[in-house]
Structure 1
């Protein structure tokens, strides 16, 4: 037991297994016991999969003993958001309306991870149907932010339980989804690394949808190396070599505009210090406006025809109508807004989004990454927002504002811990890159991570 703690990274655990200095069986029992003891009311784990976890850990222990490990994360215990189908276990997308939904097959990503040897600890709580950036779910449980023991603050959503399972030391890595920021927001607010993948890089088969156009799958991790390893696990690719990169010769763009507006004072201070560290490490930082960011923000939130809302309505309206009393009203209202969207307006919005995207890609050609605050604000107290209403929607809009840009433009992005605000809450720095450049983005992010820690 002395060889690891609840904060040991996933890759470090894998190395311990490789050397025979720890066993997947012991590590899995350690995390299951922590989950039982520290999450008795199931605000973090909607349900544990103890029998599955133990069987997978036993098999991983046997492989390690015989020198047959399948992946650097073989035997490592992970948590999975409650919208990844898991055979024989309720998968309910955080909603009481789906409490009896038991799939017969694993989601493709879970099946891939299982074949590579990862251990599934259980299914984590989330915003209903993944439709909020705050993480509030009064119906099934809202886990509190891990960094304020005095005030229960929102965890960030919709992958709320995923982030808290990792931040509280109840898992070694967590798998979530990101349609408008649902991996990056809770990662930023809980001191984690969160990777938003390009749509299509990780298969969505067997994952309950919110908006198939924008839905993506990505990991939450303790550091960039773990995020890269988890990405390879989900992507079915060989592990990525991200070491050895430097910031000298790397060009970042500071775009100003909407993405850097209305920042909380502590957020602005932390990010200013982070950028100074990048400059000190040799990065080249260019400042000029990217009007496309403001335009895509206005398009996404301007009250017109939202494809995300239209697709959510098409998939879930009947379920919500039939179970209205079981649905958190702010989620119900956001989904039902899709009833008023007209096909012609939706097609016009699609065309406009495509045109803005092409201009953005041209304007950022030759730039290694665009730097933005992951979230502009500090997570508010749960008690101030749980009732819904204008304050809830204002906070939700601010939580999602910057991250949604990457989904709307079809990009990949990563959030890194970049310091703390005046409340001691982590602040995230987001690196946003062109589509299908995850491998290069992770390598740059590793160099940024080192600079932020050493500066």
Structure 2
């Protein structure tokens, strides 16, 4: 794996490399056979030109970033991984997220593949193909979704930042499966304009990176705020391990990696307490009528569906149309139920700085196991439900969370999720910095 952005920026400033050479390296990776289906499109000439004009003293120093096909980039079509929007008019302006990354010196290498309309944590796409997870060159495995190409572009070294979105886990799931860092900020901190919506209530604009310090930099640029740094050691933090639901049905690799990570943090001084957090069990009943994603996605898609429903991924279509059956009073009741549920979780977490959970309960299955096809639908939906189970709790909480790698090669990647309620972003990021350092001490599987 290439160095992270901050290390590469230091080499640029020291004269050990230059932005054009780094962009050429990114382009070579993006054009390699292993990157098939990672990018919807690239503009290598424009990327090289922008890199050549960059300054190493800018925050992103002319280095390559990738943009999920969900975001407006001036002059480009925002298709959201769909066939039905492939010939839509091009965007007339950059989305705020893209504009902020560009103004900080980031160079857009290309638009990345994604699950159609961001509606899945698996990462498959029947229209444009599915990028293979770079963690296992021998067996094509799912990258996770919906920010599939964004995750692979960072994991394989093509991009230093992968701009994406997270509605139920679409940043953290692929980050965990591909062995990189994914930070979901509190939703209100980054503008969502210029990003095609899935759920106006739950959508979050955020990014994937190769390190926690890069995640902090990306967040500061996207949110236009400075993260308050703390020098407190891990012993200064009180962490909870949520046992209800979050630890159910873990596969052997994830269970072992998570237990090892928690033990390592304890050994490093963290105060770790197991709690039940039984309130998580209530989420099923709260969302029994389909939840925000079904209702709000149907509201956006209903007119498009009148003419183009046959062009949708059937697996995506089935979940969108479920929203047509939600009644107004059920939607209002959902809003109130969520508010009460958030209050109960906040009360249960009082006194804790953050919660530790496995990001995902399983390592990446082979693409063939869940590839498009009606005969694999049951397995696809089973895997999708499992992948989003833990991460979606944080979206319903309106909280913030980061996934950091907790595997040790040759183990397949999995993630440690550190999370809390809204506006606790800085605490989560500071804990993640300490946790990342502690986990680096694990040099081989135990």
TM-score computed with the length of structure 1 as normaliser: 0.92
Preserved contact between residue 117 and residue 198 of structure 2 (Cα < 8 Å): yes
Q: Which segments of 5 or more consecutive residues in structure 1 lack a partner in the other structure?
A: 1-5
2:16 pairs with one of 4, 21, 44: 21
* Alpha-carbon contact 2:171-2:208 (below 8 Å) kept: yes
The number of residue pairs the alignment matches comes to 438
Q: Does 1:89 align with 2:83?
A: no
Matched with 1:50 is 44
C-alpha separation between the residues in 1 aligned to 2:304 and 2:365? Answer: 30
Give 1:363's aligned residue. 348
Cα distance in 2 for partners of 1:155, 1:298 equals 30
Q: CA deviation at 1:307?
A: 1.5
Shift of 1:50: 2.3
Question: 1:21/1:150 Cα in 2 relative to 1: closer, same or farther (>3 Å)?
Answer: closer
Separation in 1, partners of 2:359, 2:307: 36
**Structure 1 CA distance for aligned equivalents of residues 134 and 228 of structure 2:** 31
Residue deviations 1:183-213 (CA, integer Å, cap 9, x gap): 0000001111110111111111111111111
- Can you list the C-alpha shifts for 1:209-233, whole angstroms capped at 9, x where unaligned? 1111100011111110111111112
Deviation at 1:138, TM superposition (A): 1.6
Q: 1: distance between equivalents of 2:418 and 2:77?
A: 35
Which runs of 5 or more structure 2 residues have no equivalent in the other structure? none
1:349 equivalent in structure 2: 334
Q: What is the alpha-carbon distance in structure 1 between the residues aligned to residue 129 and residue 302 of structure 2?
A: 22
1:222-261 superposed matches below 5 A: 222-238=210-226, 240=227, 242=229, 244-261=231-248
Kept after mapping to 1: 8 A contact 2:35/2:131: no
Following superposition, the deviation at residue 141 of structure 1 comes to 1.6
Partner of 1:3: none
Using the alignment, how far apart are the partners of 2:151 and 2:259 within structure 1?
Answer: 25
Q: Is the 8 A contact 1:414 1:431 kept in 2?
A: yes
Q: Report if aligned partners of 2:198, 2:297 keep a CA contact under 8 Å in 1.
A: yes
Deviation per CA, 1:261-290, whole angstroms, max 9, x where unpaired? 111122111111111101100011111211
Aligned twin of 1:379: 364
Aligned pairs for 1:72-111 (under 5 A) are 73-101=60-88, 102-111=90-99
- State the 1:177 CA deviation: 0.5
Q: Is 1:434–2:428 an aligned residue pair?
A: no
Partner of residue 122 from structure 1, selected from 110, 120, 123: 110
CA distance in 1, matches of 2:277, 2:231: 31
Q: Partners of 1:12 and 1:247 in 2: how far apart?
A: 24
Q: Name which of 192, 214, 219 aligns with 2:180.
A: 192
Given that 2:399 and 2:419 are in contact with CA atoms closer than 8 Å, whether structure 1 keeps it comes out as yes
1:313 pairs, out of 275, 294, 298, with 298
